[in-house]
Chains A and B, each alone.
Chain A
Amino acid sequence: MKASLGIKLEGAASIDGLTLFAPIALDIRPNQWTCLLGPSGVGKSTVLRLIADLKTYVDFDGTITTSDGQPLTDRVAYMAQSDLLFPWLSVAENVSIGARLRGEKPDGKRVLDMVSRVGLSGHDTKKPAALSGGQRQRVALARTLMENRPVILLDEPFSALDAKTRAEMQELTFALLKERTVLLVTHDPAEAARLAHIGYIMQPQGLIPMEMPETPPVRPIDDPLTIACQTALFRVLRKGAA
C-alpha cells in the first residue's frame, strides 16, 4: 500500500478554557518521517490522537486535512504510549489481532516472521504477563508493523528498550516503514536526530521547526551531523525557544 499521503494539522487546543498549546501548523509530509519532541504534558499524544480521530480531553480548534482530501479512516496505524496488549492472547495472537478484528485470516507466516524480527522468536506462544516491559513494547511494535497502512503514528515506541535493542528496533522500523508517512513522538533527541526527515519541538507557545541533517535517515548514531543535531535539539528542549 504505497500511497503518498500527507497530513496538515492546524489549530490550537485548550482544556476547560486554558490553552494547552497555541496555534500550530504541523506539516506531515508524504512518505517521510516527522518527529515530534517536547516536554511531558504539552500535548504530543493528544496531537496523535486527534489525527487518529480518537477521543481526547481537549477542545481542538482547528483543522486536520489530508493531501488527497479523503478522510484518514482505515488508513492509519496507531501505536499508543502504553502497549495495550491483550493479556488473554499470546504474543503471536496479539501481533495478528488486527487481521482478526477485521475478519481477515491472519497470515501466520508473516506473524511469526514479524515476531522474530522484533527479536522475540521462541516467545510467540507466551502470554504478555510473562514478558518484560521492553519485550511487551516490541510486541506492540510488531502489531503496529503488521498493519499495512500508509500513515503510521508512533507514540514513544522505543521508550522501554535498552540502548542496543533500541538502535536495532529503530533501524528495523525505519526499514519497514521507509516509504510511509510516519509521525513519531519521542523524548529522545538522539532518536529524532537519527530518524527524522523533519523535526519539530512542541511547546505550549507553539511548534519550533528544527533543522535536520541533509543525510537520509537512518543516520549513524556516531555521525558528527547526527551528534550536532542531537545537541541542537537538546539545547532547545532545555531552554525553550531562543
Chain B
Amino acid sequence: MTWKHGILSAFVLVAAWQLLVIITGVPSFILPPPMKVAKAMWFYHALIAENAWVTTQEVLLGMIIGSVLGILTALHLATSRTARAILRPILVFSQAVPVFALAPILVLWFGYGIWSKIVMAVLIIYFPVTSAFFDGLMKTPAGYLDLAKTMGASRARTLWHIRFKSALPSLGSGLRLAAVYAPIGAVIGEWVGASKGLGYLMLLANGRVKIDLMFATLIVLAVLTVCLHLAVDILARKLAKDH
C-alpha cells in the first residue's frame, strides 16, 4: 500500500459516507455528514489536540514499557530452563483472564491519570511481544548454534550475536501486534475512568449529544492508530532487513 492508495481509499470512504447520509436520510444525531464532522473538528481542534496528546502519551509509553518488559521476559525465558518451567504456564494461564475486565481494578489501583491506561496497554501488549520474541529466540537455526559451539562461543555471546539477531524479525511481528492492541488498551482504560484522553472525550461528546464531535474524535483516534502502525511497520521492516 502506498500513500496514493491510502489517500484514494480515504476519499472513497468519505464519498460512501456522504452517499449513505444522502440516500438513507439518517438524522445527523445518528450519523452526521462528513462536512459537519469536519466543521466540528475545526471548531474543537484545541480540545481534541489536548486530549489526543494525552492518549498519544499513554499509547507510546505503554508500547515502550510493554515491549521492553516483553523483550526482557523473552530473553529470560529463552536462557533459563527454570524460568520456562515456572513462568510459561503462568503466562499462558494469565491469558485466560480478559484484560479488559481488569480495567476497573487498574483505575482503582493506579488512579484516573494516565498511569492506569499505560498499565492497561502494557498488560495487553506484554504477552504478544513476549511470545513472538520468545518463539524467535527458540527457533534459531541449529547450524548457527553448532557453529557457535565449535568456535568456542560463550552462552551470552551466542545469545547476543546469534539468537537475538536471528529473532529480530519475530520481534518485529510481535511489535506489529502490539501496535494494534496498545491503543485499544488505552482507550478502554479511558472509558472506564479518566478525565482526559480521546476515549474520555468520545464519552463526553456522546453524553452531550455532540455526535459530530464524537465522530471527529473517532477519526483523530483512527489517524493516530494508523500513524502508529506505519511507524512500527517501518521499524519491523528494519528489524527483518537482511533476514
Contacts and interface: CB of A to CB of B under 8 A. Distances in A.
B142 A55 contact: yes
B150 A78 contact: yes
Contacts of B96: none
Interface in A94-114: 97-98, 100-103
Interface in A71-103: 73-74, 76-78, 80, 82, 84, 86-88, 97-98, 100-103
B146 A78 contact: yes
Contact residues on B (Cβ < 8 Å of other chain), bracket: 20 to 34
A210 interface: no
Interface residues of A, number: 25
Nearest to B157: A101
B150 A101 contact: no
A55 B147 CA distance: 12
A50 to B, nearest CB: 13
A218 B243 CA distance: 39
Given A52-B150, A87-B242, A88-B165, A101 B158 contact: yes
A74 B152 contact: yes
B242 A88 contact: yes
Interface string A143-160: 000010000000000000
B144 A102 contact: no
A127 interface: yes
Interface in A54-81: 54-55, 73-74, 76-78, 80
A100 B154 CA distance: 10
B143 A80 contact: yes
A101 B159 CA distance: 10
B157 A103 contact: yes
A184 B116 CA distance: 64
A86 B144 contact: yes
A147 B143 contact: no
Contact of A80 (B147, B161, B162, B165): B147
Contacts of A73: 152
B148 interface: yes
A147 B151 contact: yes
Nearest to A87: B242
Given A78-B146, A78-B147, A88 B161 contact: no
Contacts of A127: 242
A84 B157 contact: no
Nearest to A153: B150
B219 interface: no
A236 interface: no
Given A86-B162, A97-B151, A80 B157 contact: no
B149 interface: yes
Contacts of A221: none
Contacts of B234: none
B153 interface: yes
A77 to B, nearest CB: 7
Interface in B128-171: 141-144, 146-154, 157-158, 161-162, 165-166, 168
Contact of B242 (A98, A129, A147): A129
Contacts of A80: 143, 146-147
A147 B143 CA distance: 17
A147 B152 CA distance: 10
Interface in A194-240: none
A102 B153 contact: yes
Contact of B161 (A49, A77, A101): A101
Contacts of B158: 101
A101 B165 contact: no
Contacts of B152: 73-74, 98, 101-102
B151 A101 contact: yes
Contacts of A76: 150
Nearest to B240: A88
Given A88-B243, A129-B242, A100 B150 contact: no
A84 B143 contact: yes
Given A97-B147, A127-B242, 5 more contacts: A54-B146, A88-B165, A88-B166, A100-B157, A102-B154
3 tightest A-B CB contacts, nearest first: A101-B153, A78-B150, A88-B242
13 contacts: A53-B149, A55-B142, A55-B146, A74-B152, A76-B150, A86-B144, A87-B242, A87-B243, A88-B166, A97-B151, A98-B152, A101-B158, A102-B151
Interface of B: 141-144, 146-154, 157-158, 161-162, 165-166, 168, 241-243
